[in-house]
Amino acid sequence: MSLASLPNELLSIIFKECLLSGGFEDLALSCRRCYTVGRGYAGRYKKQMALWRRDDIKEFASSSQLSTMGLIRAILENPDRARWVQCLDLYFTQDADVKITCLNRTDLEFLTSYITSRPWFSTIPNKDAFSIWIQKHGIENGEYERPYNRNGRYAIFKRGQRIVARTVLLLLLMYNAEAIILPATWRYAAAEDFSILSKVALHLYTQRLGATSTKGKLLPLSNLRSVYYNGNVVGSELSSVMVITPFLSSELLRTLVAKCLIALDDSSHNLSFTWPYQGFTSKLKTIKLEQCCIEPKCLTQLLSHAPHVESFVYSHQGIDCHGPYPHKPIDYHGRWWSAGAFINAIGKYAGKTLRHLSVTVDDPTCIILTGAHSLKDFTALEECRLTLDTICAPPLDGMFTVDLNKIGAGSKRWTLFRMRKVMPQIEDILPTSIKKLTLKVNDDCRASAEHHAALGTLFRAKQKIATIGAFPNLEEIVVERPKALRGFGSIRRLLETCGVTIKLL
């Protein structure tokens, strides 16, 4: 029986008994739920983890954060621990900030023999090169480089290369892990390291290693179903989408949750995204991208190879970015974004399977060039959440021409006249399968009267009859508005005449 299936009360008893008997370390790597229940015993948890680190105790005595190498040592001391791990949370691993004592020769030999005994190892043509790779990243220490040199520029982060390599070693050991929360330092890895990952550990179908048959797979992550990544670790920077591509080749991956990623249609800054696994389609069902900046062509590359997506959540944020190459800064603040093309790309490749769609804009300085012309391509859509701006912007058919040079970030982008002229009605946008519609109103510099006019234009008088007949499954319309904006009482009365339940949050 898995520990995750036990009730909280029983888990609490187990934790107390382990603390009394000194066996808490046997459960510390069990699962995220155990850690949540045992959060009150954090002091003992830190102490036991320090004991695991052997000669690293001095460096980590005052730290509550873990070390990937410390976890690797724990598995080598007792390999049975690996089979209990279901969710591997590495977000706070800090191999980067201290000098980590590497594995001794005995542990390294055991690590090599343990990994090479796994069934998937027989599918690797170049076994000698793989063994050398394990030894290199098990004993290589390297010096920690400061984030900035004397000139104020970013240095090349060897710490990122080290954290990536040791994360892979840890995943190879914990073969039953179904979910992983990537470490915060994952974004600092050089581009070459991700090539190593795909060639050695995470790539299911790789030509460079000679796996020409679909049966010859590299399966160190055969049970991995969920990947979580938070790229917002330094101020307001964004990470390249390429940091998550090694995990897209996992055959059982169903959930991808990422925060603060960037992918641009142009390749001038090496921030474009191209599907790296030719002939392989992902079986992802849930994609959640928060505070990201992804353009339509890059999204097409992802969704065209993920035909089974049922839930897609995206929030747009145009913020400063330093990309995968920190010495080449990019100012992405206030970049124009085509919400209409973005939503059309979703509908083209996931319209027949998508049941839940959420596309919102969190950055009020982002200029939306085109709005959602129609959601008719989403034939199975049941729940939809959109920012009002993604509908207020001109539709893709160019009903209204705008001089883009005269539009600045934070300006009143669409006047009342423009809204009434170019904004489609609700029956022209939504599919008949819709059950719940949520409209989010951003608290930007536009007046409350504009939001009032936008909603009034969207739900015109003739909608009183059309809504009931056109949307037989529609149950609820929710308008999320900032508390500072007023004047929505008349909008509520107007929407209630449509015959559906209206909520103003």
The answer to whether 379 touches 433, Cβ cutoff 8 Å, is yes
- Please check whether residue 337 is in contact with residue 299, taking contact to mean a CB–CB distance below 8 angstroms: no
> Which residue shows structure tokens 């055959």?
251
Secondary structure, 3-state, 372-408: CCCCCCCCCCCEEEEECHHHHCCCCCCCCCCCHHHCC
d(CA 237, CA 71): 29
Distances (CA, A) of 348 to 58, 124, 340: 56, 37, 12
| pLDDT tens digits, 277-318 | 777 788 899 999 988 888 888 899 899 889 999 999 998 876
Other C-beta atoms within 10 Å of 46: how many? 16
Determine the 3-state secondary structure of 270 from DSSP. coil
C-alpha span between 266 and 287 (Å, rounded): 23
* Residue carrying the six token digits 């207020």: 392
| Residues in the chain with pLDDT values less than 70 | 1-67, 94-106, 118-165, 185, 187-222, 232-238, 266-270, 318-335, 364-367, 369, 392-424, 442-470, 481-505
Measure the CA angle with vertex 408, ends 406 and 412; round to 5°: 90
pLDDT tens digits, one per residue of 318-345: 654 444 433 344 444 445 778 888 888 8
Contact 93, 65 (CB under 8 A): yes
The Cα diameter of the chain in Å comes to 79
pLDDT at 308: 92
- Domain extents for the chain? 1-52, 64-189
Q: Has this prediction a pTM greater than 0.85?
A: no
What is the radius of gyration, based on Cα positions, of the chain? 26
Cβ(365)–Cβ(409) under 8 Å?
yes
Per the structure block, which two tokens stand in for 435?
């059950």
- pLDDT attached to residue 32: 43
